[in-house]
Amino acid sequence: MKAKYLFPKDLLWSIPISLLLGAGLASIQEGAWWIGWMGFSALLIGGLSTLVAAARWASPEKTLALIVGLAFIFRFAGGVATYLILPVYGHDDADDRAGFVFTDAHRRDAQAWDLANSDRPILDAFSRKFAYDQYGGLLAFSALVYRYLSPDAHRPLLLVLLSALVAALGVPFLWKAVAQTFGEKVAWASAWIFALYPESILLGGSAMREPYMMTFSALAFWGFTSWFSDAGRNRNAWVWLSIGLLGMILVSPSVALFTLVIFAGWMFFDNERVRISWKTALVFGIVFAAGLFFLSASLNRSGEFNATSPLHVINDWFKSAVKWDAYQLERESGWVQKIFDEGPAWIRLPFVTVYGVLRPVLPATVVAPTVLIWKVIGILRSLGWYALLPMLAVSFIVGSASGLEKRRSLWMWISLLSWTWILLAALRGGGDDWDNPRYRALLFMWQALMGGYIWVWWRETRNAWFSRALACEAVFLLIFTQWYGSRYLGWGIKLPFGGMVALIVGVWGLILGVGWWLDKRRA
């Protein structure tokens, strides 16, 4: 991506818009107005120029520029709206009163301002003192912004603006990588999903690590596919791959490690395109080892684990986290506690996993009482996940029926690793309605790719299994909604939880069994 993709005429609209928007943002934040105006305007001019150049570099199509623009507008507008609305119409807690959707963002923001407003070096973000950012990278980025763009006052919307700009930057890189690998049809579908997915919009309008990870994933994906498709001759591709992986290691090393595993499998299943040299294997091995040690050191910043190797630290931390989250789920829900007390011990882990995959649960979001702003946020998040879930559910069917043998193997690998991450996020997040979706979103770029690929596949084939997946989801939503409604609103018969699950599974079996029989009969 070069400066030639930014034309002088672009500055005729981007600079005035940046100055006006910067002036408005400065007026609703504390501190000297002119300092805030300069800080917001500088970030906007640089960010908008980068988005314009990236969109033009990726494709001459104006549609891509539209998608990038909408991705930024929805995220930033949503972030500003929640910042202004939550203190007035939200819950009476510290996060809502401060205008933060996520507790982690609130705590990290406070520590970033403390670090920026002190005489300590920014690298102190990686020390044990700042426990609210597990890895330190995002805290360091945030403190840099505060120290040099807002030295006089605490302006949280600066970090919201930066998050929205970074999140939108992932769109052109994702589009270019997918278009090169799977074609433009899949690229357009994936880009729209990446830009408009509600959970991604909510996270992109908050000072969270997920929007950074989505864009770092897209940068690394473009670098890898560019290098791989050119048989290893494109040296510029290493720049993007390195930026993406380094960003992941600083913000969330576990995602960097998982991404390297995906790339390694890609090279194995599609290795007729490039010869894997010992130098390439060595570089991947060094990056993997560095990410592993950085992850284990970050997880053990408190000194809680006494294991002797990084793998033992990660294993001990994960087991402790899963046990704690399962305990939290049991403690916060009476009917979950009843299931755990009356059911066999082996049911706990599968239950936590399945319940985690279904979060945020749409029936619970619709029926459970809460304030309006949180009701709207919850419904949008749930609708987004339940729109994407049927596509992900049929991913293995798509992989087993698409393309040549190696391409099938590659798609099955992507599906397997994406679902492995979704299940790990469900285990790690327990039954929490916020941790599960945001852990899942750390690798959302791959889920957007799967959704785009499957959407194009279904439109071209009209395969009946996608319709059956939709029917199974509809059955789940109808029966589960009635179950929640009977408890909160007195709707109809109050089925026991086990009876409700048995009814759902029975109808699913009927739908899938009849579908399989029809396919066999046609064959």
pLDDT digits (tens, 9 = 90+) for 435-462: 889 999 999 999 999 999 999 999 988 8
- 464, two tokens: 């009946």
Phi, psi at 2, each rounded to 5°: -120, 170
| 3-state secondary structure (DSSP) of residue 74 | helix
- 421, two tokens: 């991450």
Q: Is residue 412 part of a domain?
A: no
- What is the full DSSP assignment across 357-393? HTPSPHHHHHHS---HHHHHHHHHHHHHHHHHHHHHH
Q: How many CB atoms lie within 10 A of CB 417?
A: 18
CB 259 within 8 A of CB 290: no
Q: Is residue 240 part of a domain?
A: no
- Closest to 387 measured CA to CA, from 422, 366, 360: 360
- What is the full DSSP assignment across 298-312? HHTTTS----SSHHH
Last-in-domain residue among 164, 188, 212: 212
Type of residue found at 323:
K
Report the C-alpha gap between 472 and 511 in whole angstroms: 7
CB 456 within 8 A of CB 341: no
- 334, two tokens: 């009476």
List the domain range (segments joined by +) for residue 57. 3-212
- 118, two tokens: 């002190």
Give me the long-range contacts of 405-412 (CB less than 8 A, separation at least 24). Answer: 406/269, 406/270, 406/272, 407/270, 409/269, 409/270, 410/265, 410/266, 410/269, 410/270, 411/453
Q: Is residue 482 part of a domain?
A: yes
Q: One digit per residue, pLDDT tens: the chain, 523 residues?
A: 556 787 788 888 999 999 999 999 999 999 999 999 999 999 999 999 999 999 999 999 999 999 999 999 999 999 999 999 999 999 999 999 999 999 999 999 999 999 999 999 998 888 766 656 667 889 999 999 999 999 999 999 999 999 999 999 999 999 999 999 999 999 999 999 999 999 999 999 999 999 999 999 999 999 999 988 775 567 788 899 999 999 998 888 888 888 988 998 888 877 655 555 555 666 666 666 665 665 555 555 555 555 555 555 555 545 555 555 555 555 555 566 666 666 666 677 777 788 889 889 899 899 888 899 999 999 999 999 999 999 999 988 876 655 444 577 888 889 989 998 998 888 877 667 888 899 999 999 999 999 999 999 999 888 899 999 999 999 999 999 998 888 878 788 888 888 888 999 999 999 999 999 988 888 7
Alpha helices in 59-197 (DSSP H): 62-89, 94-98, 103-116, 137-149, 156-182, 184-196
Last-in-domain residue among 150, 180, 212: 212
Around 349, how many Cα atoms within 13 Å sit in the side-chain half-sphere? 8
Q: Is residue 467 part of a domain?
A: yes
Report the C-alpha gap between 99 and 479 in whole angstroms: 36
CB 160 within 8 A of CB 207: yes
Report the C-alpha gap between 286 and 227 in whole angstroms: 18
Specify the pTM.
0.90
Q: Is residue 251 part of a domain?
A: no
- Give the dihedral of Cα atoms 301, 302, 305, 306; nearest 10 deg: 80
Phi, psi at 383, each rounded to 5°: -60, -40
Last-in-domain residue among 160, 190, 212: 212
Exposure of 514 by Cβ count < 10 A (0-12 exposed, 13-18 middle, 19+ buried)?
A: exposed
Q: Is residue 347 part of a domain?
A: no
Type of residue found at 106:
H
Exposure of 192 by Cβ count < 10 A (0-12 exposed, 13-18 middle, 19+ buried)?
A: buried
Q: Is residue 239 part of a domain?
A: no
Report the C-alpha gap between 416 and 421 in whole angstroms: 9
Q: How many residues does the structure list for the chain?
A: 523
Cα 330 to chain centroid distance, Å, stands at 26
- 95, two tokens: 């996060």
Q: Is residue 401 part of a domain?
A: no
Tally of domains in the chain: 2
Report the C-alpha gap between 59 and 172 in whole angstroms: 8
